[in-house]
Amino acid sequence: MNLHAIKAIYFFEMHRTWRTLWQSIVSPVISTSLYFVVFGAAIGPRMTQMGGVSYGAFIVPGLIMLQVLTQSISNAAFGIYFPKFTGTIYELLSAPVSFLETVVAYVGAAASKSIILGLIILVTARLFVPFSIVHPIWMLGFLLLTAATFSLMGFIIGLVAEGFESLQIVPMLIVTPLTFLGGSFYSISMLPPFWRAVTLFNPVVYLINGFRWAFYGASDVNVGVSLAVILGFFVVCLAIVGWIFKTGYKLKS
């Protein structure tokens, strides 16, 4: 394992975050705070409790997941696409760095950014709504696994993207709608039976509910199923990345 190469790529990517602090950290925190103001502080007191907790507390896990998912994809996609765009990726491919070391460095940096952002939003949420965390270790585990998995997904998008516009298609047109429809602001048990069954085909439902279970000890789906979905998606993404590096798809053309 070439630890020197991993550290060099990792710290280069992390340093880019501090250079773009407003875009990477401040802007997502401010936008999420607006959600807490509108839905938590303004609308929350007028809503009934959901799952035994106040509405403001109920939406905390969903809002954190919304930012973690989108930022994980965006960070990883841009991180690997920029070397493709400038041509420096060929230096990386010719260097004595394996595909696994490359993935660990880029995906690790993207996941680290998203985890830091998620924890900052978690602390910020306490300023607006009171909440508790029943299983803090599981909460960190779900946060880490989700950030790593969707960073892998973003890494794939960055490898196959044809232009900068392509980097935003999946986060904006697919992931964000799935997150809003995945129970971020409501319990899927409130839906009619037909739409509840349809919603269960949305993978984000399992991510949000697994994360929410770590907070309050209750969710709309079994936590074991949530964990299995995340792990399965992680393995699939890792296999796709391995195939891309092995075949050179979109890398050597």
Per residue in 103-126, pLDDT (tens digit) is: 899 999 999 999 999 999 999 988
For 69-91, what is each residue's pLDDT tens digit?
988 998 899 888 888 888 777 77
Specify burial of residue 136 (Cβ count, 10 A radius: 0-12, 13-18, 19+).
exposed
Query: Scanning the structure block, which residue is given the tokens 């779900």?
Result: 142
Please state, in angstroms and rounded to a whole number, the distance separating the CA atoms of residues 231 and 144. 12
C-alpha dihedral (120, 148, 248, 1), degrees to nearest 10:
100
Q: What percent of the chain has pLDDT over 90?
A: 36
Please state, in angstroms and rounded to a whole number, the distance separating the CA atoms of residues 21 and 15. 10
**Domain assignment present for 252:** no
Greater pLDDT, 55 or 40: 55
Name the region of 26 (left: φ>0; alpha: ψ -120 to 50; beta: rest): alpha
H or E segment and range at residue 145: helix 136-160
Q: What is the pTM of this model?
A: 0.89
Specify burial of residue 48 (Cβ count, 10 A radius: 0-12, 13-18, 19+).
exposed
Take residue 143 and report the two structure tokens written for it.
Answer: 């946060």
Greater pLDDT, 253 or 236: 236
For 133-153, what is each residue's pLDDT tens digit?
999 999 999 999 999 999 999
pLDDT band at 25 (very low <50, low <70, confident <90, very high): confident
Range of the domain at 176: 3-247
**Domain assignment present for 128:** yes
Overall number of domains in the chain: 1
Query: What mean pLDDT comes out for the span 184-201?
Result: 88
Query: What mean pLDDT comes out for the span 181-195?
Result: 87
Which residues, 6+ apart, have CB-to-CB distance to 31 below 8 Å? none
